[in-house]
Structure 1
Amino acid sequence: MVTEAMEQGNESPQDSAITRDINRTFPAHDYFKDTGGDGQDSLYKICKAYSVYDEEIGYCQGQSFLAAVLLLHMPEEQAFSVLVKIMFEYGLRELFKQNFEDLHCKFFQLERLMQECIPDLYAHFLNLGLEAHMYASQWFLTLFTAKFPLYMVFHIIDLLLCEGISVIFNVALALLKTSKDDLIQTDFEGALKFFRVPVPKRYRSEENAKKLMELACSMKISQKKLKKYEKDYHTIREQQEQQEAPIERYERENRRLQEANMRLEQENDDLAHELVSSKIALRKDLDNAEEKADALNKELLITKQKLVDSEDEKRRLEEESAQICSQLSERLEKQQTANRGELEKIRMKVEGCEKCSILFNKEGRLKALSAPKEGSEEDTDEEKEALKNQLREMELELAQTKLQLVEAECKIQDLEHHLGLALNEVQAAKKTWFNRTLSSIKTVTGAQGKESV
């Protein structure tokens, strides 16, 4: 349907207004912020297609916000179809016809509802000379989409599609009720400013928006009452037309149109200011993000270099430890071989000595000496002393060999300890790099997240 409307060959007389509004529609939203991006392209197609489709009304300022809200939920074709349905079947286009006559009827109905539901606020506005068309125009013409946060707008559109356009009165009365205490304390200019800035800002909180929508849904506004107010409005209008001269009526209509034009220009300036502010804030955020990205890249390069150095150090320590272990193994093997040679020599000497063979068995341990036989010859004192001396020398040599073996084992344990410390340092270096890399990644991810919000 969008394609058909676009391919009719008709140029939209509001093309410049559409292009201007597209750049001001949700400029901070990711889908619409890029000039010439997919979001702005789809939004332009829908707005232009509707201006061609509905030649009587065409494109009206602020219509892009409603189209953008629909685009966030459905493709172009469906968004265009729903926009047409809202404009025609739900009666939104009636507000733009006959010099906004139906819109002023809605303002009259809202003021009568205020008089009934919020009489003190109605009296305050009456004293200030503050009329509904001065603050509620965008509420009706854009269905609250131009100023209020999307979380709240989505609820309003859902209610409108289910209940009809009269839900605007529910939401408007709920806004006035929740802001009554603040509005009663303002003067004329303060009240207008309060409607432009603090009211939409208050409902950026999802909790506040939820409470507002709950209040709006709890309010019962009968269609019979709205019909009565509409009839009263037309009666008053007829009486005014009968009493007024044509020139006075045209002057009054001209003043009303001028007021509407000034109000729309003020809202247009507000939107332009908001657009510029949003772009400045986005540029500042982008610059900060780029600076953080550069810092993180530098830190990442440093970390990578430290990792390379750590791996080189690890390989060096592994090579040194392998070399040390090899040297220790060779020395231990040589020492063990030498000890076995020495023990073999001692064993050969013991076996070659008849007297020693009596004292030692083949394993080199002392035998249990049997009692001397009767009649055997007793050893002389000199021989005993010689054997004792030889035995002491052998024990001393054996003790020295064992001592050397213990010293070798201690050196091996010491080297193994140093090797363990080196491996722990390498592991700690790897772990520190991994934690810093993970932290950097989390920081970058957090920053991108915030940008998306």
Structure 2
Amino acid sequence: MERKSNNDTLYEVLSLESESERERKKTTASPNILQASSHGSMVPSPPEDDEEEDNDEPLLSGSGDVSKECAEKILETWGDLLSKWHLNLSVRPKQLPALVRSGVPEALRGEVWQLLAGCHNNDHQVEEYRTLITKESPQDSAITRDINRTFPAHDYFKDTGGDGQDSLYKICKAYSVYDEEIGYCQGQSFLAAVLLLHMPEEQAFSVLVKIMFDYGLRELFKQNFEDLHCKFFQLERLMQEYIPDLYNHFLNVGLEAHMYASQWFLTLFTAKFPLYMVFHIIDLLLCEGISVIFNVALALLKTSREDLLATDFEGALKFFRVPVPKRYRSEENAKKLMELACSMKISQKKLKKYEKEYHTMREQQEQQEAPIERYERENRRLQEANMRLEQENDDLAHELVSSKILLRKDLDNAEEKADALNKELLMTKQKLVDSEDEKRRLEEESAQLKEMCRRELDKSESEIKKNGSIIGEYKQICSQLSERLEKQQTANKGELEKIRLKVEGCEKCSILFSKEGRLKAVRKMKEGSEEETDEEKEALKNQLREMELELAQTKLQLVEAECKIQDLEHTLGLALNEVQAAKKTWFNRTLTSIKTATGAQGKETT
């Protein structure tokens, strides 16, 4: 639009648009994609497929598991190194860089990161942190918004209002108050989250401050991101040297480094890539400095070279957004990438040279550019930055929606599980009440059985004692009868011997008996003697019958006692069966011991 003022022609810029943007609009943009900005310029937002498959979903930040398992030999090597390092913390051990390139063991990362950053003596900063978190931050809303979409795939940070989000909020808030010049910048929450996974929040804040100030990360956010654009220039010059065909392809399709690498530098790869790879990058950064970002970036571009050469502008942006991070979910792929990154030799001298070239180019541009061209270039840069930010915002919004869907699903599952557990709890309570009633019933039955067994046991003991006394008396009678019989037999033998001697001495009688004592007398005498012998035999038989009768009575009493014992054993057996049915093992053992004792006593009486 042309204006006339004081005879001078003035021009007002309505919109600026580069040739490459116009070409892209012709081929990819549609009317509903274009939106008018507040200044009247038309900015295309990145197109997306209408029907995205599940494979086209970006990888959620905080994805991936990192195992704490490590070979014993590696742990011993690190243990020896840390022991030597603690003797003099101001000097790093010589073998440290080689070990760090292989990756710090996950179990030791918290300690090693603090030592690498020089945070071993930071008590004053810990106290300062506790003061900072009590102050108000002017960027509180931005921090809260970013916290909710930081590492939604990680259990520690996915719960809104959980311990992880609370600690992350306090660290970001404290830094925004601590660094008044820069404050909180989008993406810092990802780096803080990585540190929080390895150390308490006070130490995590100290390491974050070291990375921002001593490692120069905050310089990328200063002076309208001037240093960040210098990093983009250095990356493109390194691509021109190491991957010239890919550099030329990007040049042809109009793809510039700031369109895909801004998050790499600003978040140190923490926002999109799996945790195994992220942790290894932080290992290298704390050991060798922020220049390792160039090594990792070149390694990523080199491993994806063939795929990127086959893409156009939009395809390349989508490839950087989705397939590249997903490719390194495999620990093996991530290891190969980091080995390639460590093998690339990028000297500081070369980076300084490219930095000097950038500043020289900027000075020449400022001197040669007309005001309109400078405004056009600045506007184009702002439009590109706006497009990049919109893309990032879309990605983050999509990530937030995905995380909310996952959280809703997890919440529904948790509610269903809670309902099932409540039902199970009610059933368990009812079973407990029934069990207590059954227990009381069984305790009453057990008490009754115990009382019955006690009575029967007392009765059986008294019967056993009674039978024992009867058996004792019987044994005493038998022994007395045996003694009497023996005495009688001895006396009879003596009498018979005397009679035999007298008979032998008598002439008349000797003819009646033989030498063996047998009778040789006449029949009459024989009949007389037989009558005497029969009388004696009859007397002995009567005496024997009396003894047999007495023995039979004793045996009868013994049989009665055994019958009573058997009845008692039968009663105990019934009680035992009832207790077994009630599954009372302690009572079973008691009845078994009673039965064993009773059986043993019964056998003794027999």
Query: TM-score per shorter chain, which class?
Result: 0.5 to 0.7
Alpha-carbon offset, residue 290 of structure 1 = 3.1
Alpha-carbon offset, residue 131 of structure 1 = 0.7
Alpha-carbon offset, residue 292 of structure 1 = 3.8
Q: Which residue of 2 aligns with 1:220?
A: 345
Q: 1:5, 1:52 within 8 Å by CA — same for their partners in 2?
A: no
My pick for the range that moved more, 231-240 or 321-330, is 321-330
Q: 1:415 to 1:378 in 2, by over 3 A?
A: same
TM-score by length of 2: 0.49
My pick for the range that moved more, 141-150 or 42-51, is 42-51
| Structure 2 Cα separation of the partners of residues 452 and 402 of structure 1 | 12
Alpha-carbon offset, residue 159 of structure 1 = 0.9
Q: 1:365 to 1:440 in 2, by over 3 A?
A: closer
Alpha-carbon offset, residue 424 of structure 1 = 14
TM-superposition CA deviations, 1:363-398 (whole Å, max 9, x none): 999999999999999999999999999999999999
My pick for the range that moved more, 284-293 or 101-110, is 284-293
Q: Which residue of 2 aligns with 1:385?
A: 538
| Structure 1 Cα separation of the partners of residues 604 and 371 of structure 2 | 58
Q: 1:425 to 1:335 in 2, by over 3 A?
A: farther
Alpha-carbon offset, residue 188 of structure 1 = 0.9
Alpha-carbon offset, residue 195 of structure 1 = 1.1
| Structure 2 Cα separation of the partners of residues 148 and 448 of structure 1 | 84
Alpha-carbon offset, residue 23 of structure 1 = 1.9
TM-superposition CA deviations, 1:6-44 (whole Å, max 9, x none): 999999993322222122222343333333333333322
TM-score by length of 1: 0.64
TM-superposition CA deviations, 1:197-252 (whole Å, max 9, x none): 22222223333323222222222211122122222222222222222123422331
Q: 1:9 to 1:208 in 2, by over 3 A?
A: closer
Q: 1:446 to 1:370 in 2, by over 3 A?
A: closer
Q: 2:513, 2:519 within 8 Å by CA — same for their partners in 1?
A: yes
For residue 145 of structure 1, give the secondary structure of its aligned residue in structure 2. coil
Q: 1:111 to 1:429 in 2, by over 3 A?
A: farther
For residue 147 of structure 1, give the secondary structure of its aligned residue in structure 2. coil
Alpha-carbon offset, residue 73 of structure 1 = 2.0
- The share of aligned pairs that are identical, in percent, is 93
| Structure 2 Cα separation of the partners of residues 451 and 211 of structure 1 | 87
| Structure 1 Cα separation of the partners of residues 406 and 541 of structure 2 | 101
Unaligned 5+ residue runs, structure 2? 1-48, 59-138, 448-475
Q: 2:579, 2:587 within 8 Å by CA — same for their partners in 1?
A: no
| Structure 2 Cα separation of the partners of residues 441 and 15 of structure 1 | 80
Q: Which residue of 2 aligns with 1:251?
A: 376
Q: 1:22, 1:44 within 8 Å by CA — same for their partners in 2?
A: yes
How many residue pairs align between the two structures?
450
Q: 2:196, 2:204 within 8 Å by CA — same for their partners in 1?
A: yes
TM-superposition CA deviations, 1:124-173 (whole Å, max 9, x none): 21221111100000000111111122222111111100000001011111
Q: CA RMSD in A?
A: 16.3
Q: 1:305 to 1:230 in 2, by over 3 A?
A: same
| Structure 2 Cα separation of the partners of residues 444 and 249 of structure 1 | 113
Q: 1:171, 1:213 within 8 Å by CA — same for their partners in 2?
A: yes
Q: 2:576, 2:588 within 8 Å by CA — same for their partners in 1?
A: no
Q: 1:320 to 1:109 in 2, by over 3 A?
A: same
My pick for the range that moved more, 218-227 or 368-377, is 368-377
Greater C-alpha radius of gyration:
2
My pick for the range that moved more, 101-110 or 233-242, is 233-242
Q: 2:511, 2:521 within 8 Å by CA — same for their partners in 1?
A: no
1:205 aligns with 2:330: yes
| Structure 2 Cα separation of the partners of residues 287 and 117 of structure 1 | 51
| Structure 2 Cα separation of the partners of residues 337 and 213 of structure 1 | 119
| Structure 2 Cα separation of the partners of residues 447 and 223 of structure 1 | 99
Candidates 62, 68, 72, aligned match of 2:187: 62
Q: 1:329 to 1:442 in 2, by over 3 A?
A: closer
Q: 1:43, 1:71 within 8 Å by CA — same for their partners in 2?
A: yes
Q: 1:23 to 1:395 in 2, by over 3 A?
A: farther
Q: Which residue of 2 aligns with 1:444?
A: 597
TM-superposition CA deviations, 1:269-318 (whole Å, max 9, x none): 21122012111112112312432453455467668878998999999999
For residue 430 of structure 1, give the secondary structure of its aligned residue in structure 2. coil
Unaligned 5+ residue runs, structure 1? none
My pick for the range that moved more, 292-301 or 425-434, is 425-434
| Structure 1 Cα separation of the partners of residues 419 and 517 of structure 2 | 77
Alpha-carbon offset, residue 325 of structure 1 = 38
Q: 1:374 to 1:450 in 2, by over 3 A?
A: closer
